[in-house]
Amino acid sequence: MAQLWGGRFQSATDQDAYRFNASIYFDKRLVHEDIEGSLAHAEMLARTGIISEEDGKAIAEGLKSIIADVDAGKIEITDKYEDVHSFVEAVLTERIGDAGKRLHTGRSRNDQVALDMKLYTRKAVKAVDESLFHLQEALSDIIDNNLDTFMPGFTHLQKAQPVTLAHHMGAYFEMFIRDRSRLKDIYNRMDSCPLGSGALAGTTYPLDREFTAEKLGFKLGPTRNSMDSVSDRDYLIEFLSALSTIMMHLSRFSEEVIIWNSNEYRFVEIDDRFSTGSSIMPQKKNPDIAELVRGKTGRVYGALMSMLTTMKGIPLAYDKDMQEDKEVVFDAIDTVTDCLHLFTGMVSTMKFRNDVMEKSAKNGFTNATDAADYLVKKGVPFRDAHSIIGRLVLKCLEEGKAMDDLTMDEWKSESEVFEDDIYEAIALRTCVEKRLTFGAPGHESMAKNAAFYHEYLKKQSF
Ligand code: ARG
């Protein structure tokens, strides 16, 4: 057991207590960030004369050799060390002697871990943003190619009005725009550096916190209150909340893919590379990737609830409860990253059956509103038009046909206002093409959005 403390203890830690307390099993993932923070801290200590130039150099070289060896697989981070901070300091001291013991001057593991976690999360926020960007690129392609692919739009999972595939995919593109802007907000708000806050009350050494904050790339400079700095995990809660919303969007999308891929709908066919079979039923080709994405949503929500609950009763400042932040956050990041990667692969290789979607849009009375609007344009009050069309729909349902199949006599039996142009007015193409309000599925309107998405994807987000 390599611990950074022990002077005031008379007996060694119980083995089970050691394991229970140790975080090395999961915080070893922070080794790059821990060393990045330590390099900045050591440089600042040397610049301010708190340690000698010589020690500063030895520390920097030692830290760089450790990270090189970790990356090369030459040293293993084992549970001989309590946490990643102990690992780095112990190995450093083994390599450079007393100078290694000076690294922790004016620092506590509390500000150290707060920094490590922020550095790690910052990268993760950007990486998730990048994954969303790739998904949006895939959606943008589908949108460009399907401005005139008709499909039914649904409410209550009942056919409602016709839309296009481009419009439907555009709805998800919009959700991912919001997700990405949330990530950016989080990034901007968390962009201050806790290093130099000490255990909770700062330090008596003349640390240059501006220097380390700048060195580590924190745009807002050092954090303002040392007690808050070591115990702030708000940014993790915000991040988990953003990740949960991303998963909620992916889960809704997955649900649609599952429905569309079903034998009953057949709107899409998921590529073989992203489907799985059954061990007993030879005919099966299952949408497991979509189902797993839908399923894993619960796991990410769980991480958010876990983090909120962990934090709710913690008195200022640092308490060990906070160590619980790591596993849930890491798991949520891994889960969302995997889900975005696989979902993008699935969506970009999925075949849309345009003919099936169009037929479905024709069959479900999705033009009933347009038929009512036809009467309104000829002076019939909307409420009366609604009831006239309702009766005609009922007639079609009884006779098993579409409104487009009604004869002129049948139209006229409900209202003399109907004329030959009704057929053109309720044709699927007309129903979609005429929807040209901003944000509607009509070709011209949606083409503007498609162009906007191209511009959007060209912009650097961070
Ligand atoms: N492993 C700890 C964590 O993740 C590091 C901070 C330890 N600080 C302490 N005072 N015990 O939170």
User: Which pLDDT band, with edges at 50, 70 and 90, does 19 fall under?
Assistant: very high
Question: Of 181, 262, 278, 387, which residue is the catalytic one?
Answer: 278
Spatial CA neighbour of 134 closest among 348, 303, 328: 348
Angle CA(349)–CA(178)–CA(170) in degrees, nearest 5? 45
User: Which pLDDT band, with edges at 50, 70 and 90, does 412 fall under?
Assistant: very high
User: Which pLDDT band, with edges at 50, 70 and 90, does 284 fall under?
Assistant: confident
Contact status, residue 215 vs residue 48, Cβ threshold 8 Å = no
User: What mean pLDDT, rounded, does the chain reach?
Assistant: 97
SS3 212: helix
Spatial separation of the C-alpha atoms in residues 309 and 316, rounded to whole Å: 16
- Give all domains of the chain, ordered by start, each with its CATH number: 15-105 (1.10.275.10), 122-147+155-198+228-359 (1.20.200.10), 364-458 (1.10.40.30)
Q: Based on the number of CB atoms within 10 Å of its own CB, is 316 exposed (0-12), middle (13-18) or buried (19 or more)?
A: exposed
The pLDDT assigned to 231 comes to 98
pLDDT digits (tens, 9 = 90+) for 42-81: 999 999 999 999 999 999 999 999 999 999 999 999 999 9
Verify whether residue 278 is a known catalytic residue: yes
Residue nearest to atom 11 of ligand 1 (CA): 320
Instruction: Report how far ligand 1's centroid is from the alpha carbon of 82 (Å).
Output: 10
Verify whether residue 156 is a known catalytic residue: yes
Cβ-proximal residues to 181 (8 Å cutoff; 6+ apart), any chain? none
The pLDDT assigned to 2 comes to 67
Spatial CA neighbour of 254 closest among 165, 342, 181: 342
The two most distant CA atoms of the chain are separated, in Å, by: 101
Spatial CA neighbour of 141 closest among 448, 343, 356, 347: 347
Contact status, residue 337 vs residue 300, Cβ threshold 8 Å = no
Residue nearest to atom 7 of ligand 1 (CA): 109
Instruction: Report how far ligand 1's centroid is from the alpha carbon of 110 (Å).
Output: 6
Tokens of 7: 């002077």
Tell me the average pLDDT across 279-302: 94
- Residue 452 has a CB neighbour count (10 Å cut-off) of 13
Tell me the average pLDDT across 322-334: 98
Pocket of ligand 1 contains residue 23 by CB under 6 Å: yes
Pocket of ligand 1 contains residue 348 by CB under 6 Å: no
Tell me the best of 109, 115, 310, 325 to mutate to test the pocket of ligand 1, counting ligand atoms within 8 Å of each CB and taking the most: 109
Please give the share of the chain, as a percent, with pLDDT higher than 90.
95
What is each CA distance from 440 to 11, 105, 152, in whole angstroms?
A: 73, 62, 14
Q: Alpha helix locations (H) across 196-323?
A: 209-215, 226-231, 234-260, 288-311
Contact status, residue 248 vs residue 339, Cβ threshold 8 Å = no
Q: Which helix (H) or strand (E) holds 155?
A: strand 150-155
pTM of the model: 0.96
Contact status, residue 408 vs residue 416, Cβ threshold 8 Å = no
Pocket of ligand 1 contains residue 22 by CB under 6 Å: no
pLDDT digits (tens, 9 = 90+) for 295-317: 999 999 999 999 999 999 999 99
**Number of residues in the chain:** 462
Tokens of 367: 């033009």
Contact status, residue 100 vs residue 89, Cβ threshold 8 Å = yes
Buried b (16+ CB within 10 A) or exposed e, 222-237: bbeebebbbbbbebbb
What number does the ligand 1 atom closest to the CA of 83 have?
1
